[in-house]
Amino acid sequence: GNEWKTRYETQVELNKQLERQINILRDKVELIRGNPADKLFVVRTFDKMPVVSTVTFSWLNNKSQSSWE
C-alpha cells in the first residue's frame, strides 16, 4: 500500500513543478513575442532549460499555438 502512496505523492509534486515551469515558460513566450528581435535571448533561454522543460515547452507551444495567433 505504501508504494502507491509514495508514487502518488511523487507524481503530485512533479505535476506542481511542471505547472510552475509551464507558467514561467508562458511568461517567457510572451516576452519573446513582444520582442522577436532578441533571438539570442531565446537561444540562451533554451540552453539553460532542463530537458523536461524543453519537452514541455514544445508540447505547450504546439498545443496552444492556434490560440496565440
DSSP string covering the chain? -HHHHHHHHHHHHHHHHHHHHHHHHHHHHHHHHH-TT-HHHHHHHHHHS-HHHHHHHHHHHHHHHHHH-
Nearest-10 crossing angle of helices 39-48, 2-34:
170
Q: What is the pLDDT of residues 47-60, one digit of tens each?
A: 666 665 666 666 66
Indicate if the pLDDT at residue 66 is higher than 60.
Answer: no
DSSP single-letter state for residue 37: T
- The ranges assigned to domains in the chain are 2-68
Task: Tell me the pTM.
Answer: 0.44
